[in-house]
Amino acid sequence: MTVALVTGGGGGIGRATAVALAAAGADVAILDLDAGLGDETAALVETAGRRALFLRTDVSDGAQMGEAVDQVERLLGPITAFANNAGIEGVVAPLHLYPDDVFDRLLQVNAKGVFLGLKHVLARMIPRGEGAIVNTASTSAVRGRAGLAGYVATKHAVLGLTRVAALDVAGTAIRVNAVLPGPVETRMIRSLDEQAGRSGGIRRAGAAAYGQPEDVAGVICFLLSDQARHVNGAAWTVDAGSTVA
Ligand code: NAD
């Protein structure tokens, strides 16, 4: 694992993943919409003694993603590990009142953004015949959640894309897996909890404590490492058991 790319690397799970990958010896490129957060993560990677590169990029824009992946390889070298992680939560509202424009943006970022990341990184990994990718889905990829039509639909899409990509590379030394975190203490869960407090829209089965970004980052790092060399197409829950409750 020498050069890693993390999308949404300015935020909770992405930042923890960038730091964990640096600690494991990777140089890390960070893509995010938020330049302030992205620069902070890059500084943390450098503090760990690794090279860092932050590029302000909208993952839902194909031209920007193509250019960013190009630039990462030009400046840091071939990407061998990719955390395809950026995502947004949208709003909490019953489906019959769910705003069309919010649904569209969730499709753009959570579904198309993950597709574009896979597309541009696999286009480089496939000719080299090696590399590992982890898409950040959610336990919302395998269950319903009242009030979260856009989020749940797009996280199901992330799992579908993971399975297609894993089959495309099956039999090679490239692997594509998904992590399915339950609630994790980041800006996103604070936003959802605040909205749910107003609307009463989200109900969670099981009563596990919220995870920390590092809990998910550790699993992403494992799945990106050679220790997981026989794991492909997996949907790896990181939820302290709440989904099976
Ligand atoms: P976060 O909001 O802290 O981080 C998300 C990051 O993605 C932010 O830095 C944001 O600027 C960036 N981003 C948003 N839209 C972008 C775009 N179009 N292009 C580039 N960057 C963009 O949230 P988080 O909790 O760290 O979420 C990371 C991933 O984990 C998301 O895919 C989310 O759906 C998933 N997830 C989170 C939880 C949770 O409880 N926090 C649970 C399950 C899954």
DSSP collapsed to 3 states, 94-107: CHHHCCHHHHHHHH
- Look at residue 33 and tell me whether its pLDDT is greater than 80: yes
- State the distance between the two ends of the chain, measured CA to CA, in whole angstroms: 36
- Mean pLDDT of the residues in the chain: 95
**Which atom number of ligand 1 is nearest to the Cα of residue 15?**
26
- Look at residue 201 and tell me whether its pLDDT is greater than 50: no
- The pick from 13, 61, 192 for probing ligand 1's pocket by mutation, whose C-beta has the most ligand atoms within 8 angstroms, reads 13
Determine if the pTM surpasses 0.90: yes
pLDDT of 88 reads 98
pLDDT of 1 reads 57
Confidence bin at 203 (pLDDT 50/70/90) = very low
Active site residues: 151
Question: Where do we find the tokens 């596990």?
Answer: 208
**Cα–Cα distance for residue pair 137/141, rounded to 1 Å:** 6
Q: Per residue in 60-111, pLDDT tens?
A: 999 999 999 999 999 999 999 999 999 999 999 999 999 999 999 999 999 9
pLDDT of 197 reads 79
pLDDT > 70: what percent of the chain? 95
- The pick from 186, 195, 216, 239 for probing ligand 1's pocket by mutation, whose C-beta has the most ligand atoms within 8 angstroms, reads 186
| b/e burial code for range 104-131 (CB count within 10 A of at least 16 → b) | ebbbbbbbbbbbbbbbbbbebbeeeeeb
- Look at residue 209 and tell me whether its pLDDT is greater than 70: yes
**Which residue has the least CA distance to atom 12 on ligand 1?**
8
**Ligand 1, CB cutoff 6 Å, lining residues:** 7-8, 10-14, 31-34, 37, 57-60, 85-88, 109, 113, 136, 138, 181, 183-184, 186-189
